[in-house]
């Protein structure tokens, strides 16, 4: 069983730092990593740092331990790459890519959707998780909302969106002006619970997981949003710096062993509410999603 220990984070963007695994016992200065690329350095030191945005059930910290579907995948993938220890930085969503490019962490483990504007800033792995969208609404859905089109058609509905999430872009494209921005999934649920918003839009697997057993909110049926008649096909992936090609290629090679085997995939992600429907089809590529060809 992997040993997990908690440390206090000091980076401005971080609210906490967590280390998974047995920390390497090398004293400072024992290994010379100068001139190594990120993959070589991580393998030499036995440690890699991942940033998360604490969105369940992808990646979050509970009782001092990092958990979630992407954490489960990353523990296996990086172990297979000879990297036994994973350090976790909890940061807000909008800091994930800027902090990555600033060198504060080595990769982003947040199930981040592959979008053209993000691909211009960072490198995405092969697709890992397929997405649909849902709305969190008050119990019994008093406004009878079903998708973002129904929100756009209503005159008295306030929609909460997570800043930087794809659903914020959907709302803009649909001309939904009456919105509230929140910085996390939990905050979005809370503004619906408080009555400040009538609905909160985010990925279905997250909101279904987070509202299970709730007595004051519920989720609508999952949907694939259409924009200008085009279905917005969404998939999430792990994010790397664009120059870290060796790390990205090695990661994709190990990822393919998981996504190419439905049983192996489900063994890792099913405990967190994911199903075979979340497994990306073999012919879906990051290049297609980065180019915007699919919606």
Between CA 210 and CA 148 the distance in angstroms is 20
If asked whether residues 71 and 209 sit together in one domain, one would say no
If asked whether residues 144 and 119 sit together in one domain, one would say no
pLDDT at 28 (0 to 100): 43
- pLDDT tens digits, 65-108: 999 999 999 999 999 999 999 999 999 999 999 999 999 999 99
* pLDDT at position 11 over 60: no
* pLDDT at position 20 over 70: no
Contacts 24+ apart (CB under 8 A), 141-146: 141/218, 141/220, 143/198, 143/199, 145/198, 145/199, 145/220, 146/220, 146/221, 146/223
Q: How does the average pLDDT of the chain come out, rounded?
A: 89
pLDDT at 104 (0 to 100): 97
Domain enclosing residue 68, as ranges:
4-130+234-291
If asked whether residues 18 and 123 sit together in one domain, one would say yes
Between CA 21 and CA 271 the distance in angstroms is 21
Q: Does 228 fall in a domain?
A: no
* pLDDT at position 245 over 50: yes
pLDDT at 9 (0 to 100): 32
From the list 7, 93, 2, the residue with the least C-alpha distance to 49 is 7
If asked whether residues 115 and 243 sit together in one domain, one would say yes
| % of residues, the chain, pLDDT over 90 | 80
Boundary residue ending a domain (170, 191, 223): 223
**Domain CATH for 204:** 3.40.190.10
Q: Does 187 fall in a domain?
A: yes
Question: In the predicted model, what is the mean pLDDT of residues 231-250?
Answer: 95
Between CA 46 and CA 22 the distance in angstroms is 9
If asked whether residues 41 and 184 sit together in one domain, one would say no
Between CA 181 and CA 160 the distance in angstroms is 6
Between CA 142 and CA 140 the distance in angstroms is 6
Question: In the predicted model, what is the mean pLDDT of residues 20-43?
Answer: 69
If asked whether residues 13 and 113 sit together in one domain, one would say yes
Q: Does 229 fall in a domain?
A: no
CB neighbours of 28 closer than 8 A, spacing ≥ 6?
none
Band the pLDDT of 292: cuts 50, 70, 90: confident
pLDDT at 13 (0 to 100): 40
From the list 82, 48, 54, the residue with the least C-alpha distance to 68 is 54
If asked whether residues 83 and 200 sit together in one domain, one would say no
- pLDDT tens digits, 124-156: 999 999 999 999 999 999 999 999 999 999 989
* pLDDT at position 164 over 90: no
Between CA 103 and CA 245 the distance in angstroms is 15
pLDDT at 145 (0 to 100): 98
Quote the tokens at residue 259.
Answer: 């996504």
Boundary residue ending a domain (223, 242, 270): 223
Number of domains the chain is built from: 2
If asked whether residues 180 and 68 sit together in one domain, one would say no
If asked whether residues 115 and 84 sit together in one domain, one would say yes
Question: In the predicted model, what is the mean pLDDT of residues 180-191?
Answer: 95
Q: Residue 190 is inside which H or E element, if any?
A: helix 185-193
- pLDDT tens digits, 35-54: 899 999 999 999 999 999 98
If asked whether residues 137 and 119 sit together in one domain, one would say no
Boundary residue ending a domain (177, 196, 223): 223
């Amino acid at each position: 069983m992997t040993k997990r220990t908690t440390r206090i984070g000091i980076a401005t963007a971080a609210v906490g730092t967590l280390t998974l695994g047995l920390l390497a016992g090398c004293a400072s200065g024992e290994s010379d990593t100068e001139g190594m690329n990120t993959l070589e350095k991580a393998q030499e030191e036995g440690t890699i740092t991942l940033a998360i945005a604490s969105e369940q059930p992808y990646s979050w910290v509970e009782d001092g331990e990092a958990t979630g579907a992407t954490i489960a995948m990353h523990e296996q993938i990086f172990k297979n790459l000879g990297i036994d220890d994973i350090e976790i930085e909890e940061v807000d969503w909008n800091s994930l890519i800027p902090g990555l490019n600033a060198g504060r962490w080595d990769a982003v483990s947040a199930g981040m959707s592959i979008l053209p504007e993000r691909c211009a800033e960072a490198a995405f792995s092969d697709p890992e998780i397929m997405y649909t969208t849902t709305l969190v609404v008050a119990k019994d859905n008093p406004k009878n909302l079903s998708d973002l089109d129904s929100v756009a058609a209503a005159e008295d509905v306030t929609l909460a969106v997570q800043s930087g999430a794809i659903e914020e872009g959907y709302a803009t494209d649909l001309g939904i002006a009456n919105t509230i921005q929140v910085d996390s999934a939990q905050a979005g649920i809370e503004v619906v619970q408080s009555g400040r918003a009538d609905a909160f839009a985010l990925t279905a697997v997250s909101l279904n997981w987070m509202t299970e057993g709730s007595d004051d909110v519920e989720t609508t049926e999952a949907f694939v949003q259409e924009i200008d008649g085009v279905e917005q096909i969404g998939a999430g992936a792990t994010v790397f710096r664009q120059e870290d090609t060796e790390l990205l290629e090695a990661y994709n090679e190990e990822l393919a062993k998981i996504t190419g085997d439905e049983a192996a995939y489900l063994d890792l992600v099913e405990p967190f509410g994911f199903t075979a429907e979340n497994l990306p089809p073999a012919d879906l590529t990051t290049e297609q999603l980065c180019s915007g060809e699919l919606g």
